[in-house]
Structure 1
């Protein structure tokens, strides 16, 4: 079996492609069921965020191609298009990649803390969908242990910076006084919660949160002195908002060009700063064509993020060392599991041979045969059956001069009292 990590992220594909391969929460259960149902796939987990879609699978031969073909079918994309922007890692490299993702070393914002929570959610969803087996379970547990050590023992998690922080940081370069800049936040997930917190700390006092359910929006807005609205009320809220930041899991855009044009007329064309963090995008790209709108996507935050990356590089180097230790621990556990499976198979075969020989001996005793002869035959028969395969393999190894195999067999099959050198 092979451990496979296959994905597309912010480094290999633009947001236009990433949003096409993203999985909504409603799609995940179906996706995992289909993926797990492939003949080549034994275990599977899916990680889908605004910056990456990654599939972690335990596969057999041709597993990579089968998984890539499935991804194309699920999203209605040509495999050739996916191949141009997809990456893959096998076994040790796949484990190392997952650990780097978990601690934020592969994120747009180096060391950003959100990804670990997203990875834990992906793990839980995979478990509920029965996509997890011993291989992925061990890998994810080791990954979480490494992430905990990195957060505890390095400075990569201090003064946490995320895409949410980068969006607010970019807004601060445009607005001198946040206290006079009303903000509209669309969505009520973890990213928007971080955005709201950062804006409040930066001085924004007029905060509105729009969400599909008003109750969830109120939970987020109330502690910060903001107001909650539903998505249907966005057109009116746009008239007052100088800052608009959106991050939902909606499969289609929430805010279109026509809606924004109507709002700008009522605003008397006061400029609006907008950031669309969502993948798929919440704001139609055409909105950015309007002269009084400054629209940015997650890809436009690279400059702010690069500055953060430089500050965290020392901690990142320390994290890499901890990851290598984690990969080594995972390799050791994997070898133990492999050995355990072999031991179970060997014992099962031995027990099968034992039971067959016992049943035959009991049948002879029932027929009245001499007990001593039955026992002698049982011993002879069982010895021959147990040693037949090893004997044939040893003869072939000797003929082919496979010294390592012969030495291993001697170590396994002979005890000190059988040492032929005596």
Structure 2
């Protein structure tokens, strides 16, 4: 069963296209059921983050094109629209790609740790949708072990700069002293949580957390000394913010141009700095054209991030070496799935011989033969039957000089070890 990894990411596609193929948490499980219902699709996992959407799919031979056709159909895209932006990896390359993604080697921020948690979430969603079978499930377990080893054995995670940290650093470049700034956070997920931690470390003046679920906003704000508002109350508080960092799971923008225009007017045209790290975007694109607003999107962070890559490049090379080794190990296990275990056949044949000879020995006793005669017949006949074919093959190997088979037989029957003990 071929394994493919199909997707697009921050390196291959612009954010407006990534938005169109993103899956939110609420729709992923149903999408997985739909995908695994396609002809030739045996198992699947969907990984969708702000920087990538990827399908990991086990397919029947000849069905490699099914996932891409389904992706276009599911998102109602014109056939061929994604062709120049998609990448497709098969088998070994698909396994290597998954390992690289989970370890942060394929991330915008080299070595960033959040992606591993996102892969684990995707795995859990696939399990709940009953979309996994043994090969892909085993691959995910192997992936988590590889990611742990890379984190332990290399410095890929040392001084890692997350997207959230990069957003805060960019804000710090605009506002030299964040202790004078009011920051509005849109959302209450992991990325916003990380941003809040970094802002607290910078001793930001005020922190406002806005979220669709007020309870979640309140919990996050309480942990970091801020105060919470509902997204519905955003227009009343927007003018207070010098900095806005947005990362919600909304499908449509939560911050519109009209809202920002009113806020800028209330601020008497005092500039606002905004970072939108959500996909789909949280802030209307046209906000970026306003004179008194400095809007940065997820792709704009790349230059800031690139400045921090050099210190982790050596660790990345070490991580790639670990990944290459682990790809070979997983693929060896996967290939073994398609090979019939000869031990099963050997045991079956031995049991057939045993039953035949045992029946004959019982018949001898029934005809009046002594138990000793029957046992001798049983032992001799069973030994001859079990060793006939191996002995014939070994005689032929000895005559032809097939040393590989002779050594293999020695290992198989433990003869080399016994000879060494002598």
**DSSP-derived class of the 1:250 partner:** coil
1:337-348 mapped onto 2 (5 Å cutoff):
337-339=337-339, 342-343=340-341
What residue in structure 1 maps to residue 383 of structure 2? Answer: none
Q: Give the deviation of 1:223 after TM superposition.
A: 1.8
1:172 lines up with 2:175 in the alignment: no
For 2:186 and 2:6, locate their aligned partners in 1 and report how far apart those are by CA, in whole Å: 31
Q: TM-score, normalised to structure 2's length?
A: 0.83
Query: Cα gap change, 1:189/1:345 in structure 2, threshold over 3 Å: closer, same or farther?
Result: farther
Q: Is the 8 A contact 1:103 1:116 kept in 2?
A: yes
Report Cα offsets for 1:194-219 as digits up to 9, x if no partner: 11111111221300000111111111
What residue in structure 2 maps to residue 380 of structure 1? Answer: none
Q: Is the 8 A contact 1:205 1:225 kept in 2?
A: no
1:114-125 mapped onto 2 (5 Å cutoff):
114-125=114-125
Which of the numbers 390, 395, 399 marks the counterpart of 1:415?
390
For 1:344 and 1:27, locate their aligned partners in 2 and report how far apart those are by CA, in whole Å: 45
Q: Is the 8 A contact 2:110 2:160 kept in 1?
A: no
Report Cα offsets for 1:367-396 as digits up to 9, x if no partner: xxxxxxxxxxxxxxxxxxxxxxxxxxxxxx
1:149-164 mapped onto 2 (5 Å cutoff):
149-164=149-164
For 1:292 and 1:205, locate their aligned partners in 2 and report how far apart those are by CA, in whole Å: 21
Q: Give the deviation of 1:417 after TM superposition.
A: 4.2
1:362-377 mapped onto 2 (5 Å cutoff):
none
Q: Is the 8 A contact 1:146 1:323 kept in 2?
A: yes
Report Cα offsets for 1:138-160 as digits up to 9, x if no partner: 11111110100111111111223
Q: Is the 8 A contact 1:179 1:205 kept in 2?
A: yes
For 2:186 and 2:108, locate their aligned partners in 1 and report how far apart those are by CA, in whole Å: 22
For 1:199 and 1:338, locate their aligned partners in 2 and report how far apart those are by CA, in whole Å: 53
Report Cα offsets for 1:30-61 as digits up to 9, x if no partner: 11001111111101000000000000000123
Report Cα offsets for 1:297-333 as digits up to 9, x if no partner: 0000011110111221011111111111211221222
Q: Is the 8 A contact 2:187 2:246 kept in 1?
A: yes
What residue in structure 2 maps to residue 235 of structure 1? Answer: 235
For 2:36 and 2:234, locate their aligned partners in 1 and report how far apart those are by CA, in whole Å: 40
What residue in structure 1 maps to residue 83 of structure 2? Answer: 83
Q: Give the deviation of 1:346 after TM superposition.
A: 7.4
For 1:110 and 1:86, locate their aligned partners in 2 and report how far apart those are by CA, in whole Å: 21
For 1:2 and 1:45, locate their aligned partners in 2 and report how far apart those are by CA, in whole Å: 14
Q: TM-score, normalised to structure 1's length?
A: 0.83
**DSSP-derived class of the 1:79 partner:** coil
Query: Cα gap change, 1:265/1:68 in structure 2, threshold over 3 Å: closer, same or farther?
Result: same
What residue in structure 2 maps to residue 131 of structure 1? Answer: 131
Report Cα offsets for 1:254-295 as digits up to 9, x if no partner: 111011111111111110000110000011101111110000
For 1:330 and 1:84, locate their aligned partners in 2 and report how far apart those are by CA, in whole Å: 30
Q: Is the 8 A contact 2:2 2:91 kept in 1?
A: yes
1:185-196 mapped onto 2 (5 Å cutoff):
185-196=185-196
Q: Give the deviation of 1:233 after TM superposition.
A: 1.2
**DSSP-derived class of the 2:61 partner:** coil
What residue in structure 1 maps to residue 100 of structure 2? Answer: 100
What residue in structure 1 maps to residue 145 of structure 2? Answer: 145
What residue in structure 2 maps to residue 279 of structure 1? Answer: 279
Query: Cα gap change, 1:255/1:9 in structure 2, threshold over 3 Å: closer, same or farther?
Result: same
Moved more, 302-311 or 45-54: 302-311
**DSSP-derived class of the 2:80 partner:** helix
Q: Is the 8 A contact 1:250 1:282 kept in 2?
A: yes
What residue in structure 2 maps to residue 57 of structure 1? Answer: 57
RMSD between superposed Cα atoms in Å: 2.5
| Gap regions ≥5 residues in structure 1 | 359-412
1:260-409 mapped onto 2 (5 Å cutoff):
260-339=260-339, 342-343=340-341
How many residue pairs match? The answer is 367
Report Cα offsets for 1:335-368 as digits up to 9, x if no partner: 33333xx2399759x79xx8xxx9xxxxxxxxxx
What residue in structure 1 maps to residue 27 of structure 2? Answer: 27
Query: Cα gap change, 1:334/1:291 in structure 2, threshold over 3 Å: closer, same or farther?
Result: same
**DSSP-derived class of the 2:185 partner:** strand
Q: Is the 8 A contact 1:68 1:79 kept in 2?
A: no
